[in-house]
Amino acid sequence: MIDRRDFLKGCLACGVTAASIGVAGKNAFAAGSFEGYPDSMGVLVDLTRCVGCRSCEAACNDEQNLPDPDLPFDDKSVFKEQRRTTDKAYTVVNKYEVANKDTLFRKMQCNHCNEPACLTSCFVNAYTKTKEGAVIYNSKVCVGCRNCMIACPFNIPAYSYSSPTNPMVKKCIFCYETRVKNGRPPACVEICPQQVMTFGHRADLIKMGHDRITSNPAKYVDKLYGEKEVGGTSWMYLSSVDFDKVGLDNHMQNEPIISNVKDFLGTVPMVLSIWPALFTGIHLLATKNKGGHGDHDHEEGDEQ
Amino acid sequence: MRAVKRQMIMAVTGAMLMLVSSVCFGSGIPDEITINSIQKYYSGVNFNHAAHINNLKDCGLCHHHTTGAQVSDPNCARCHKNSGAQAVVSCKGCHSATPFTPEALKLQRDQQPPLYHKDQVGLKGAYHLGCVGCHEKMQGPTGCQDCHKRNESGDKIFHSGSYAPKTTDTPKSSHH
Ligand code: SF4
Ligand code: SF4
């Protein structure tokens, strides 16, 4: 009962917040194809340089005050399987054996999309794209609906269920609060011994990426991954092998994910305004019919 | 009078340049170099310069065009085939220990000529990309602690050594 009441209270509060944010946020997307903020920062990741030392994972854990890992960060046994980001690890390094090529490693984390699907899919507007390019979120607003988890083309947002009544999104925030906001590079970038990651203005990094390919065409495949994918991302990649071989979808659409759901989004403001009423109605019905304990999860799922 | 002055200045500069280059190429080549400008999580490295010179012979492999040796990289050779020895040859003389500060980013952006120097790696990157890259090819040591021992704060951040996670559930150590 408590859970449900909290959830509803949350919905009401969020509906109000979202409705007001919705008005302010509208302009950002009104332009149609949004090329990213002009001063957006970014990171150029050169996969040919990574040696899989996992220092970046260690630095992230420290910087973001994440829980202790199950294994030390110098333990290479983690490479036996493909890992994904979790609420306890905002970045993970995976190993890829590529036929006729050396082993490659790829660090994965949020790519900080120019037009983030997580942001556009979030009906309470928990996400913000900052002018520096970081995609951050307000976990106080998050209701744990997991829309963003499904929407993200890179499978990044994870959930913390440590509090059953308040599950919240957890993901890389580009070290926004502690570093990028103040013009400093993220912790992973700074610790990396191989300078796999180059921090800089996104526009400069695009040039730099192409220059690296041009000056060493035998070394790189002719593609800067993230320049165009899903409308462009702040984190971009260079590789010596097809991106498919290192776990990045090589056929990702160039249009932002928002285009797929534009029709849906058109209905969002209305949904937002009637949402609390809707939930109250369902709640009343459920209480009436089932005498209290309804299947909350199912209810919630149906609405998404 | 002016011309004489200018000549004198040129002569003095020339003499100084010769002095610098003789330091670089004469007995001035250090046999051992302590690499310790960045040692947050690892101890410094006592680098055996002499052994590497004996093994490789080619200064340009690490120092690019700066020692006046023939450059092997064709991209560098475009401009530096005959550019001679430079006053600065040490890694940290060019590669910045803080390559991503707003000032450093601006410097790189405005680099003239805007060619290969623009994408210059930082000091830590220069060391590791150079050392590890070559060690991989020549079967040299490549493990982190093969070259520099991790220190206490390194163990801490890696949750390793005495900071390794316990198998039983213990509360998080309060190092944050
Ligand atoms: S710190 Fe750098 S080299 Fe090490 S695993 Fe991370 S990206 Fe790769
Ligand atoms: S990578 Fe996923 S989580 Fe990160 S900004 Fe893009 S859609 Fe959002």
pLDDT band at A289 (very low <50, low <70, confident <90, very high): very low
pLDDT at A5: 42
**For atom 8 of ligand 2, which residue has the closest CA?**
A118
Interface test with chain B among A162, A198, A201, A216, by most B beta carbons within 10 Å: A198
Q: Of the ligands numbered here, which is closest to the C-alpha atom of A57? A: 1
Q: Does the pLDDT value for residue A62 go beyond 80?
A: yes
Nearest to A104, CA basis, from A113, A95, A92, A112:
A95
A231 lines ligand 2 (CB under 6 A): no
Length of chain A: 304
Q: What is the largest CA-CA distance in chain B?
A: 86
Q: Does the pLDDT value for residue A79 go beyond 50?
A: yes
pLDDT at B114: 64
Domains defined along chain B, listed by start: 2-162 (3.90.10.10)
**What would the mean pLDDT of A246-272 be, rounded to a whole number?**
68
Q: Does the pLDDT value for residue B68 go beyond 60?
A: yes
**What would the mean pLDDT of A170-198 be, rounded to a whole number?**
97
pLDDT band at A197 (very low <50, low <70, confident <90, very high): very high
| Cα B126 to middle of ligand 1, angstroms | 14
Residue with more model confidence, B97 or A2:
B97
Q: What is the mean pLDDT of chain B?
A: 81
Q: Which residue has the tokens 């390094």?
A: A93
d(CA A9, CA A24): 23
pLDDT band at A255 (very low <50, low <70, confident <90, very high): confident
pLDDT at A21: 42
pLDDT at A77: 96
A-chain residues near B163 (CB < 8 A): 72
CB contact burial B30-53 (16+ within 10 A = b; e otherwise): eeebebeebeebbeebebeeeebe
Q: Does the pLDDT value for residue B9 go beyond 80?
A: no
Of A68, A72, A193, the CB nearest to B124: A193
Residue with more model confidence, A261 or A183:
A183
Nearest to A236, CA basis, from A117, A114, A120, A138:
A114
pLDDT at B37: 75
Minimum mean pLDDT range among A137-151, A186-200, A237-251? A137-151
d(CA B175, CA B153): 10
Q: Three-state DSSP class for B150?
A: strand
**What would the mean pLDDT of B122-129 be, rounded to a whole number?**
95
Q: Does the pLDDT value for residue B147 go beyond 60?
A: yes
pLDDT band at A33 (very low <50, low <70, confident <90, very high): very low
Residue with more model confidence, B142 or A35:
B142
Pick the most confident of A26-40, A215-229, A267-281: A215-229
A111 lines ligand 2 (CB under 6 A): yes
Q: Does the pLDDT value for residue B116 go beyond 80?
A: no
Residue with more model confidence, A292 or B3:
B3
pLDDT at A143: 86
pLDDT at B28: 80
What lies within 8 Å, CB to CB, of B139 at 6+ separation is none
d(CA B152, CA B43): 10
Nearest to A144, CA basis, from A174, A122, A114:
A122
Global pTM value: 0.78
Residue range A106-132, pLDDT digits in tens: 999 999 999 999 999 999 999 999 999
Q: Is the peptide bond before B99 cis (omega within 30 degrees of 0)?
A: no
Q: What is the largest CA-CA distance in chain A?
A: 71
Of B100, B109, B132, the CB nearest to A189: B100
Q: For chain A, give every domain's residue range.
A: 41-117+147-246
**What would the mean pLDDT of A203-227 be, rounded to a whole number?**
95
Supply the ipTM of this predicted assembly.
Answer: 0.79
Compute and round to an integer the Cα radius of gyration of chain B: 22
pLDDT band at A19 (very low <50, low <70, confident <90, very high): very low
* DSSP letter assigned to residue A261: G
H or E segment to which residue A203 belongs: helix A202-215
Q: Does the pLDDT value for residue B105 go beyond 80?
A: yes
Q: What is the mean pLDDT of chain A?
A: 80
Q: Which fold has domain A41-117+147-246?
A: Alpha-Beta Plaits (3.30.70)
Q: Does the pLDDT value for residue A236 go beyond 70?
A: yes
Kindly state the tokens that stand for A68.
Answer: 């202790």
Q: Does the pLDDT value for residue A18 go beyond 50?
A: no
Residue with more model confidence, B156 or A36:
B156
pLDDT at A109: 98
Q: Of the ligands numbered here, which is closest to the C-alpha atom of A85? A: 2
pLDDT band at A278 (very low <50, low <70, confident <90, very high): low
pLDDT at A269: 46
End-to-end CA distance of chain A: 21
Q: Does the pLDDT value for residue B98 go beyond 60?
A: yes
pLDDT band at A4 (very low <50, low <70, confident <90, very high): very low
Residue range B72-90, pLDDT digits in tens: 778 788 888 888 899 999 9
Cβ contact, residue pair B164, A185, below 8 Å = no
| Cα A172 to middle of ligand 2, angstroms | 9
Nearest to B35, CA basis, from B103, B108, B98, B123:
B123
How many Cβ atoms are within 10 Å of A159's Cβ, its own excluded? 17
